[in-house]
C-alpha cells in the first residue's frame, strides 16, 4: 500500500532516479535543502512499502508565497512520479494534498509552470480544474530550442463576505 508523508532531508538522497526524468525540473541539492527549511509541511513524498526503507514513488515540492502586493498563493515547484508508478493517481493525490494545505493557509489560488510540450502534465492539471493562465515565452532555456512555459492556475473558492 502506498503511504504519503512529509518529505525529509534524507529523502533528497533517494529521489535521484526520479530527478532524471527529462520533463522534471532539476534543481540543486542546496535549492531543495533551503526549500524544506523555508516551507516546512509543504513537500510530500509517496512511498511504496518494502525492505530498506521503502521505495520513493513520487513527490511534490510546494511553496506558500505571500509577499506584499501579491495575492497569497500556493506554488508547485516540482512534481514527479516515477515511471513505473504512473497512471495510478499518485500525482492527483499529491496535488490534492497541496491544494488542501494551501487552502488552510489562506491562499487565493495554487499555480505552477509547465513545459508547453508536456501533454501528460497538461492533461493532469486540466482534469483537476487548473486553467492555462498565461504563456511565458522561452522560459526554459536549457533545451537546444528554448521552450515556452504555461502558467496553470486553480482558484480556491471562498464564501462571499456579506456586509
Ligand atoms: C505528469 C505526471 C506527474 C503525472 O503523474 P501520474 O501519477 O501518472 O498522474 P495521475 O495518475 O494522477 O493521472 C491523473 C490524470 O492525469 C492525466 N494523465 C496523466 N498522465 C498522462 C499521460 N501520460 N497522458 C495523458 N494523460 C495523462 C489523465 O487524465 C489521468 O487520469 P487517468 O489515468 O484516469 O486517465 C507524471 O507523468 C510525471 O512525473 N511526469 C514527468 C515529470 C513531470 O512532467 N512533472 C510535471 C511538471 S509540471
Average pLDDT score, the chain: 91
Tens digits of per-residue pLDDT, 53-74? 678 899 999 999 998 788 999 9
What residue segments make up the domains of the chain, in order of their start? Answer: 3-155
Tell me if residue 129 falls in helix, strand or coil: coil
Residue 27, pLDDT score? 77
Whether the CB of 83 sits within 6 Å of ligand 1: no
CATH of domain 3-155: 3.40.630.30
Whether the CB of 21 sits within 6 Å of ligand 1: yes
Q: pTM of the predicted model, to two decimals? A: 0.93
With contact defined as beta carbons under 8 Å apart, do 99 and 111 qualify? no
For residue 80, which atom of ligand 1 is closest to its CA? 39
Whether the CB of 123 sits within 6 Å of ligand 1: yes
End-to-end CA distance of the chain: 49
Tens digits of per-residue pLDDT, 98-153? 999 999 999 999 999 999 999 999 999 999 999 999 999 999 987 678 999 999 99
Amino acid at each position: 500500500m502506498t503511504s504519503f508523508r512529509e518529505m525529509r532531508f534524507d529523502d533528497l538522497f533517494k529521489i535521484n532516479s526520479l530527478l532524471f526524468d527529462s520533463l522534471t525540473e532539476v534543481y540543486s541539492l542546496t535549492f531543495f535543502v533551503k526549500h524544506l527549511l523555508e516551507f516546512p509541511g509543504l513537500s510530500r513524498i509517496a512511498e511504496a512499502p518494502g525492505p530498506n526503507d521503502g521505495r520513493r514513488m513520487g513527490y511534490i515540492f510546494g511553496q506558500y508565497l505571500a509577499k506584499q502586493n501579491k495575492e497569497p498563493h500556493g506554488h508547485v515547484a516540482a512534481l514527479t512520479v516515477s515511471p513505473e508508478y504512473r497512471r495510478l493517481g499518485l500525482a492527483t493525490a499529491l496535488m490534492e494534498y497541496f491544494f488542501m494545505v494551501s487552502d488552510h493557509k489562506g491562499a487565493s489560488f495554487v499555480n505552477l509552470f509547465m513545459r508547453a510540450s508536456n501533454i501528460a502534465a497538461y492533461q493532469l492539471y486540466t482534469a483537476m480544474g487548473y486553467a492555462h493562465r498565461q504563456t511565458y515565452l522561452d522560459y526554459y532555456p536549457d533545451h537546444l530550442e528554448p521552450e515556452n512555459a504555461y502558467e496553470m492556475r486553480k482558484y480556491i473558492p471562498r464564501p462571499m463576505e456579506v456586509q
